């Protein structure tokens, strides 16, 4: 989809040179697209770029994949194969072409209903970072959404939540929740119809299926028969918050357009799942959001796991524009309700009488610093040289490094008053 416009700055200079680069890949090895904003591109280079893109299109369209799936499920179990190298469901006529590849045999209906476990997770931190919810977190999210009365879930980059909803809907007649998955991983088109999956890039709000896919999303967001909609998103943690926020606001605007009355002064309900240390950045773009204490865990992440199996507790939280008191967290997992803050907090998050808030972000009990006039992590100490709380083993010299543009302390380059903005 469309590239994003970035700016390359030099220290001490207010003006930077602007350039276009890939919206999804931050590593030039994954996508080498680069173009200065003021650069004139020759016809030859444009043609070469078109050819490059053409050669990297998927083998089948979404419609073809849906038809192939229908043929695949009619096959007897002994003839159901999945190529692990091509990450593709194989029909018998295609076996020979993949004869030297590794493949799985006897693909069951249960496996087809759980594609996130059949497909290899794409774990490039700078591109896909496809870490999948642990069953505990997924089940908690689904139960919470149902308790809150939501019957439609726009699943943006949350394939495991989507498949849990799809699986329950196919097994239980009384189950009334529906989900639409928006994801950049086109492999999911092999398992879901066009009204269940849209190939989508959350960094530039690009629907690869064009207007038809956009209309599918718009139709899904239309709240008929009182079926409330919520958006749940789990972006790659290395993703640019500004780009993500821009796309999410466009999805919210799409929701607002679906009904002339009733949405005027409201935001589409949303769960943005992201690490707690991005709190200030998210609140910059969505001031109505607040962060919940619930720790979201992942199956295939070395660190972000519940209990003692992970090396440390997960820093991933739920940011939402719903009233915090509505989000009931499981007491059996150590969460309690703070009557002063009117929200559920982790057991280690003690209420600070001076701040008048439960201040901990990471689940541990934080301590109040009278000099800083705020609560800080228990491992931090007040440094008189730096005039702030920091780790005991730190370099005081670092405090003299100021803004990358003007050199002054107290702000970063992105907030520099002398940086000309467009």
Looking at the 3D structure of the chain, how many domains does it have? 3
In a domain, 403, yes or no: no
- What pLDDT is recorded for position 309? 42
- DSSP character for 394? -
In a domain, 297, yes or no: yes
- 188 and 331 together in one domain: yes
CATH assignment of the domain containing 253: 3.40.50
The residue out of 347, 369, 402 marking a domain boundary is 347
- 41 and 151 together in one domain: no
Q: Give residue for tokens 């519940």.
A: 306
**Residue 159 CA neighbour count, 13 Å, CB half:** 28
290-291/316-320 β-pairing: antiparallel
In a domain, 144, yes or no: yes
Q: What is the dihedral of CA 113, 126, 55, 58, to 10 degrees?
A: 10
Q: Edge-to-edge strand order for the sheet containing 88-90?
A: 88-90, 81-83, 103-105
Contact 355, 372 (CB under 8 A): no
In a domain, 418, yes or no: no
Helices 210-221/241-257 angle, 10° precision: 70
- 229 and 319 together in one domain: yes
Q: Give residue for tokens 């309900």.
A: 269
- 144 and 281 together in one domain: yes
In a domain, 383, yes or no: no
* Bridge partners for 344 per DSSP: 337
- 270 and 221 together in one domain: yes
Does the pTM surpass 0.85? The reply is: yes
- 165 and 296 together in one domain: yes
Q: What is the DSSP string of 130-178?
A: ---B-HHHHHHHHHHHHHTTEEEEEEES-HHHHHHHHHHHHH-TT---E
The H or E element that residue 245 is part of is helix 241-257
- 159 and 195 together in one domain: yes
- What pLDDT is recorded for position 79? 95
- 253 and 332 together in one domain: yes
- 300 and 278 together in one domain: yes
Burial track 27-40 (b if 16+ CB lie within 10 A, e otherwise): eeeeeeeeeeeeee
- What pLDDT is recorded for position 420? 47
CA distances from residue 214 to 53, 163, 184, 199, 348 in whole angstroms, order as listed: 22, 21, 14, 10, 44
Helices 135-147/159-171 angle, 10° precision: 70
- What pLDDT is recorded for position 299? 80
- What pLDDT is recorded for position 403? 66
Structural domain for 324, as ranges:
135-347
- 212 and 280 together in one domain: yes
**pLDDT by 10s per residue, the chain, length 422:** 899 999 888 776 667 889 999 998 877 788 889 999 998 999 999 999 999 888 888 989 999 999 999 999 999 999 999 999 999 999 999 999 999 999 899 999 999 999 988 998 775 544 445 678 888 999 999 999 999 999 999 999 999 999 999 999 988 888 989 999 999 999 999 999 999 999 999 999 999 999 999 999 999 998 777 789 999 999 988 889 999 999 999 999 999 887 655 556 688 999 999 999 999 999 999 999 999 999 998 886 555 555 544 446 788 999 999 999 999 999 998 899 999 999 999 988 889 888 999 998 888 889 999 989 999 998 898 998 888 899 888 888 654 456 655 666 656 666 666 554 43
- What pLDDT is recorded for position 28? 79
In a domain, 112, yes or no: no
> Rounded CA gap, 7 and 18, in Å?
4
- What pLDDT is recorded for position 69? 96
- 205 and 236 together in one domain: yes
- 80 and 51 together in one domain: no
In a domain, 248, yes or no: yes
In a domain, 119, yes or no: no
> Rounded CA gap, 111 and 224, in Å?
33
> Rounded CA gap, 254 and 217, in Å?
9
């Amino acid at each position: 989809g469309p590239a994003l416009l970035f700016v390359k700055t030099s220290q001490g200079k207010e003006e930077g040179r602007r350039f276009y680069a890939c919206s999804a890949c931050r590593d030039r090895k994954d996508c080498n697209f680069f173009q200065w904003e003021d650069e004139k591109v020759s016809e030859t280079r444009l043609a070469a770029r078109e050819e490059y893109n053409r050669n990297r299109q998927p083998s089948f369209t979404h419609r073809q994949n849906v038809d192939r799936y229908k043929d695949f499920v009619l096959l007897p179990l002994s003839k159901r194969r999945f190529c692990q190298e091509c990450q593709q469901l194989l029909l018998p006529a295609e076996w020979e072409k993949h004869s030297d590849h590794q493949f799985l045999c006897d693909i069951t209906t249960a496996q087809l209903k759980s594609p996130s476990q059949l497909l290899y997770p794409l774990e490039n931190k700078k591109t896909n970072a496809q870490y999948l919810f642990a069953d505990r977190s997924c089940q908690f999210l689904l139960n919470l959404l149902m308790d809150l009365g939501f019957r439609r879930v726009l699943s943006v980059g949350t394939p495991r939540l989507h498949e849990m909803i799809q699986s329950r809907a196919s097994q239980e007649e009384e189950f009334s929740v529906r989900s639409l998955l928006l994801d950049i991983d086109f492999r999911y088109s092999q398992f879901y119809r066009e009204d269940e999956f849209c190939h989508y890039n959350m960094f530039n709000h690009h629907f690869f299926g064009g207007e038809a896919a956009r209309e599918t999303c718009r139709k899904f967001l239309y709240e008929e028969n009182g079926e409330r909609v919520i958006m749940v998103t789990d972006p790659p943690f290395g993703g640019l918050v500004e780009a993500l926020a821009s796309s999410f606001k466009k999805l919210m605007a799409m929701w607002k357009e679906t009904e002339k009355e009733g949405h005027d002064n409201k935001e589409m309900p949303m769960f943005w799942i992201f690490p707690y240390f991005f709190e200030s950045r998210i609140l910059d773009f969505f001031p109505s959001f607040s962060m919940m204490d619930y720790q979201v865990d992942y199956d295939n992440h070395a660190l972000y796991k519940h209990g003692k199996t992970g090396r440390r507790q997960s820093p991933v939280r739920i940011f939402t524009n719903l009233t915090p008191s509505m989000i009931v967290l499981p007491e059996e997992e150590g969460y309690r309700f703070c009557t002063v803050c009117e929200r559920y907090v982790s057991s280690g998050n003690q209420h600070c009488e001076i701040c008048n808030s439960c201040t901990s972000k990471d689940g541990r009990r934080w301590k109040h610093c009278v000099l800083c006039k705020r609560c800080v992590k228990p491992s931090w100490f007040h440094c008189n040289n730096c005039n702030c709380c920091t780790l005991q083993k730190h370099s005081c010299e670092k405090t003299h490094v100021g803004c990358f543009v003007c050199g002054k302390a107290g702000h970063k380059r992105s907030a520099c008053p002398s940086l000309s903005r467009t």
